[in-house]
Structure 1
Amino acid sequence: MKLCVHELPRTSAGQDEVPAAPPRCGHAAPGDDLARAVWLGGLAAPVPLCSGLGRCGRCRVRFHDLSVAPDPLPEEEEILGPDLLARGWRLACRRQITDAMGPELHLDVPAPEKMTVMTTAAPSLPKQDHLALAVDLGTTSLYWRLIAVPDVREEPAPDDFSLLCRPPLPVSVVAEGHDLNPQAGAGADVMSRLAVASAPEGRARLARLVRDHLAALLRQQTASLPGIPVERLVLAANTAMTDIFLDRDISGLCAAPYRRSHAGGCGLTVEGLPPLLIPPLPAPFVGGDISAGLLRLLADGLPRPLLLADLGTNGELALVDARGRLWLASVPLGPALEGIGPQCGRMAGPGSITRFEVSPLGLACHSVDGPLAAGADVQGISATGYLSLLALLLRLGCLDADGHFRTPASPLARRVAPPPQQARTGLRLPLPYGQWLAAADVE
């Protein structure tokens, strides 16, 4: 069938508004998971989904033709409510493409947040400078910098990794930004990506999503810099993200004994992108992001011992001891650290509560930028926010050891935790800025 996805303006998400732009169209087959058909098909901008738990509501789609909208499920009644269900909204993670949906299916999706981009360079650059794009491809987020590198007399070949081992060049940042990894529709953690990438067609689709994203980024950023091509792309990522990007076999990362398909530290060619440099991949779950960080720290001459920790969906640790020996470890941290699953859960960033404190007036909330002002636009709670909240509630006696809400004894605790309310999705504790703690999320 032909699948067409219309993006609604963000301010009207969930409302019966007219989409702001023409739809993106692709093809899907009966039996395909609807969420994957939409987001892994590149028909909608990435959103941090809860991997099919049916709890975050971010995969909601609206059927234009109500006659083909499937009957509501209990999970959809809890998350969406009767008003949205009556207007054709459903949870895509709970749905499959069926023949009954017809030869052409039109869906609406709420527009996600836009990519954050900051331009810092002067309007003109020296003609002798070269542009390079440095990318940190995380399981959840994609961070990038477009940098101007002074010309060097002895330009190394694209596969000469000694370029990164030299002392840092005096580069200048032209622009930088971050966005969600466009593969987010496959699930929030490394294992869900590996599951999709286990099939060659799934791996090719995931690889194409990131490659197309970077190609579009390059076109956008270099449009204002005519005549200055981007001559190099450096991509630092964990081993799974690296091999999926390169469309290489990832079977060695899916089961013990784990093994790498290659050791990195090489230059490659990827169609549609500048010459690519991959930092070394030291171990099956210690990747090029750690290598790139270590190279920079060692080039800066930091005293040893030193410890580099990259704590994301996968946690990676690198210790350089006083004798110069390198010790490596990795640990799966999972999407729980990113607020995925709880009803008000959201990745840490602007617009999310990352920490709670007790003040004389009750709960004080903080974001990554500091204390939140009255009337701030809060869109959710990160996992660190949830953990700090539960610690406070336990200490104040608002929760018992089994996670049940209790009526606290002290006046301060009662200001912090007003009586729980019965909502459509169950018992929940009201929080500042329109947020809440659901009893189902405490576990």
Structure 2
Amino acid sequence: MTAISTGAEGFLGRYAGLTGRLPGATLPAVAALREAAAATFRRTGFPTRRAEAWKYTDLNPVAQSAFHEPLTAVDGAVALPPETGAIRAVFVDGRFRDDLSALPAYAMPLALDPAAATRGIADAVLPMVALNTMLFEDGLVVDLAEGVDGGTLDLVSASDAHPTAFHPRHVIRLGAGASLLLIERNVSAAGIASLHNPVFEIDLGAGAKLTHLRLNTEAPEAFHVATIAVRCAADAVYDSFALNLGARITRNEMHVALNGTGAAAHLNGAQLLDGTRVCDTSTYLDHAAPGCASRQTYKSVLAGRSRGVFQGKILVRQIAQKTDGYQMNQALLLSDEAEMDAKPQLEIYADDVKCSHGATIGALDEEAMFFLRSRGIPMTEARALLVEAFVQDAIAQMPEEAARDAVRAVLTRAWKVAA
């Protein structure tokens, strides 16, 4: 295992050293994709706060860290989340672990089909997407045929006891009328400053439905920078919920295009942060067809000197009449030093639309706290109850009971920490 140098030059040097050895090296389309990405990353480097999209989040700690990127297969035991009984795809340091997985017939590792990464849903001009495209080694490919119910699939990403940087590429396609519950669980070894830079490319056919649950519980030293690109055909539904409890810096960037009449997107989430953690949720919803709906509800609970960021943009194109877009961001500050930055945006070119956005930032309700304390409930428990009640509204947005249960199971261990 060899350590790479810090900064953009270190990753570019890593790419140069892997010429001919990365998956798809012999496929012209994949090789061209990687070269174009390397040129982009060479030009842009890591995004800085001078860029409007990154004005609230500083990636200098990532750029200044040194990471390991082993090419050999990872062996041995690794700490994983509890078994759920679902079919499971496990990746350790970004590489598929067959011995820990049980893949369904409709899924396979990207390393066996690297050409799947050339579908072009994610914008390769984005610096972190360019970094991923340049260096991805593996990921999950899901291809559900028309009308198929894929059930529940666990996607587990873990890192071992080394400060690794890995860039998985997950490609998910649901045919017309297909459905899937994807539960993504991200974990990492305590005390290790790993970099997890995943890219999801999700293509939903007419009437398809994907419920995407993301549970981020990586170590406090870790970095998690995810880009999720979704394309929805007519009447397709993308229903997502992200729960963020870990990582030193988390960035969830979502680009959702509603390209067919009647398509819908539900982007919801909650984050419980303490210490000096930062979590940035940036969403970009493109209403590109008439009669589409979008709903966003994000809740942040911030303690210590932690910081939450919500940037939400809704674009309504001229053709997208009868658009219904809603966006709400709420934050609960448990400390005078905690900070929440909110930047909602509406860009509307159609005249027959219903769009709204809102943001609230406040502290715990003193009257509610007094009510609980007066009935003999200890301070810590009372605060935990109020925090739980605050977050439950976002959890309730998920239609699948299995998804709600998975979130609550993770949160059970987090209330007292947050309080």
> What is the TM-score with the length of structure 2 in the denominator?
0.30
Q: Which has the higher helix share?
A: 1
Greater radius of gyration (CA) = 1
> What is the TM-score with the length of structure 1 in the denominator?
0.29
